[in-house]
Amino acid sequence: MIQFFDSSQSVFLNGMDRIQAREQQAQTQLTTGLKINTVSDDPSQLPVLMQVRSSIAENQQITSNLSRVKSESDSAESALSNATSLMDNITSLGSEGEPTATSAATRNQLAQQVGDDLQQMVTIANTQVEGRYVFSGDDDQTQPYTIDLTQTNPVSAYAGSPSTRTVQLPDGSLLPVSETAQQIFDSTDPTTNVFSAISNLRTALLNNDQTGIDSAISSLNNSSTYLNTQLAFYGNVQSRVNGAIDFGANLETQLETQQSQIQDADLTQSITELSQASTQQQAALAAENEIPKTSLFDYLG
């Protein structure tokens, strides 16, 4: 039967389309848990949502970098704490050998112990974390020092590179995170050079050199004080990094809350909307069936 497509049918179909669109949107929100699934869902909020997501990703990367730095700085701080304790032990050995009445044999024995401690200090300077030499500057795959006690200068030259490493904090600032073994143990200032002070004490004890022992102990005291300032550097890095990690965690919580407010669906509202759309669709279909249908033949008759 040929029927006229009148305006009432057009209104009915448009209305059904709107109801079905609402029903589909509510169903999608219930399935995904999100109220923004396509650009058309809320065009005005999409740029804000993209910015928040970008901020979350950036903050997560910063936090990941900080966690890696934390591992290194914790290891470096622990290594330097051991180094300062070792310096105290070496200074004590020097004090044992300093009295003029000390025999050459005793001083020779003390020199052997100082040599062992010098080797241990070089091992500390070569500290590794996850396969990286933490005191080797930017060239963290190169061992900073070697040692050969048979040589006049038993500790090798520094083999690493300068350190330019920084880490970005959540507030955008950059924090220098490392020093080199050369800066810490092998200072260009002879009065604060840890390796030289220990090596000079060992040599003086081996040579039964009273003047050399007195001078070496003075250098050890200066070097020990200097070593503690390097320990303080890493203590500061630890404090700043731990604070930044806490700040980043709080910031991520805030950003995720903001993201949730923008994109998360109100599931109760979505269920209500789905139910209402279904009811309206059934009512519309029932009402449409009650409308009389008129054909062309009705007018020709």
Residue 11 predicted with pLDDT over 90: no
Mean pLDDT on 125-150 = 95
Contact 92, 191 (CB under 8 A): no
Looking at the DSSP assignment, which residues form a beta bridge with residue 176? 166
Q: What does the pLDDT read at residue 210?
A: 95
Percent over 90 (pLDDT), the chain: 61
Distance CA 40, CA 53 (A): 18
pLDDT digits (tens, 9 = 90+) for 143-154: 999 999 999 999
Residue 238 lies in a domain: yes
Q: What does the pLDDT read at residue 103?
A: 96
Residue 185 lies in a domain: yes
Residue 219's nearest CA partner among 114, 120, 146 is 114
Distance CA 125, CA 60 (A): 32
Q: What does the pLDDT read at residue 259?
A: 79
Low-confidence winner among 29-43, 135-149, 253-267 (lowest mean pLDDT): 29-43
Residue type, 260: S
- DSSP single-letter state for residue 142: S
| Beta pairing class for 132-133 and 128-129 | antiparallel
Mean pLDDT on 111-122 = 98
Low-confidence winner among 54-58, 110-114, 144-148, 277-281 (lowest mean pLDDT): 277-281
**Residue 104 structural domain:** 48-258
Q: Mind giving me the DSSP string for 195-217?
A: HHHHHHHHHHHHTT-HHHHHHHH
Residue 164 lies in a domain: yes
Residue 144 lies in a domain: yes
Q: What does the pLDDT read at residue 49?
A: 78
Residue 251 lies in a domain: yes
Distance CA 111, CA 204 (A): 8
Report how many domains make up the chain. 1
Mean pLDDT on 70-93 = 95
Q: What CATH number should be reported for the domain holding residue 116?
A: 1.20.1330.10
pLDDT digits (tens, 9 = 90+) for 187-238: 999 999 999 999 999 999 999 999 999 999 999 999 999 999 999 999 999 9
Percent over 70 (pLDDT), the chain: 72
- DSSP single-letter state for residue 233: H
Residue 138's nearest CA partner among 159, 122, 162 is 162
Question: Taking all residues of the chain, what is their mean pLDDT, rounded to a whole number?
Answer: 84
Q: What does the pLDDT read at residue 1?
A: 45
Q: What does the pLDDT read at residue 117?
A: 98
Q: What does the pLDDT read at residue 43?
A: 73
Residue 290 lies in a domain: no
